[in-house]
Chains A and B, each alone.
Chain A
Amino acid sequence: AQTVTQSQPEMSVQEAETVTLSCTYDTSESDYYLFWYKQPPSRQMILVIRQEAYKQQNATENRFSVNFQKAAKSFSLKISDSQLGDAAMYFCAYRSGRTSGGGADGLTFGKGTHLIIQP
């Protein structure tokens, strides 16, 4: 079974600064997808960024970028120019690349990192 570990329960950053959230995962598969989701106090899960394991290039979405290290099974999220609206829980998630049944489609989440933005 796959596992996702987020070792930082809480992180704090000054507004306009850069912060990196860590995520490691364990899998025996070679084809998979990785995601970062943001969950503000409203508890709506919002997709921030995704990465296909077969792509070497790190994904980027505006101020959000990832550092995907496949051999190390590491998938960190970098938030540049932090804004007050970035304050939320951030979850790293794994999804198998298999498309058949057997739970392959379900996302496996880490326990989350609470990001605090200091004004």
Chain B
Amino acid sequence: DTGVSQNPRHKITKRGQNVTFRCDPISEHNRLYWYRQTLGQGPEFLTYFQNEAQLEKSRLLSDRFSAERPKGSFSTLEIQRTEQGDSAMYLCASSQGTAVFFGSGTQLSVL
């Protein structure tokens, strides 16, 4: 499979716990993005990397959220002290040129 890969597909956690998601982009794509999607809405931009540099963070990305992309390959998104409002689908995407390709997402449920 040469598409964008995300793990895990589903995550259930208790409020206050930390969670980490992983994204493996399409090989050689230098840009990687994180989005959040809640039910009935379109995806909302969170942050993006060009290679290993995090170039932009949305206002949606609170201090409890941190993303990394060491070595410019895979990326991780960590949410600390999760809240019920963090429940959403977290989508990763990558691009090399114009088109942006998405992974299947990680569905987070915070109880």
* Chain B contacts to A: CB under 8 angstroms: 31, 33, 35, 37, 40-45, 48, 50, 55-56, 58, 89, 91, 93, 95, 98-105, 107
* Residues in A whose Cβ lies below 8 Å from that of B42: 4, 91, 93, 109-112
CB-based closest 10 A-B pairs: A109-B42, A106-B45, A45-B102, A101-B55, A103-B56, A44-B104, A91-B42, A109-B43, A105-B48, A111-B42
A104 to B102, CA, bound (A): 18
A48 to B40, CA, bound (A): 20
* Residues in A whose Cβ lies below 8 Å from that of B41: 111-112
A44 to B100, CA, bound (A): 13
Q: Are A105 and B43 in contact (CB under 8 A)?
A: no
* Chain A contacts to B: CB under 8 angstroms: 4, 33, 35, 37, 42-47, 50, 52, 91, 93, 95, 101-112
Q: Are A107 and B43 in contact (CB under 8 A)?
A: yes
Q: Are A105 and B31 in contact (CB under 8 A)?
A: yes
* Residues in A whose Cβ lies below 8 Å from that of B56: 101-106
- State which of B43, B45, B107 has its C-beta within 8 Å of the C-beta of A103: B45
A109 to B105, CA, bound (A): 16
Q: Are B104 and A43 in contact (CB under 8 A)?
A: yes
Q: Are B58 and A106 in contact (CB under 8 A)?
A: yes
Q: Are A42 and B33 in contact (CB under 8 A)?
A: no
A112 to B103, CA, bound (A): 18
* Residues in A whose Cβ lies below 8 Å from that of B95: 105
* Residues in A whose Cβ lies below 8 Å from that of B43: 45, 91, 107, 109
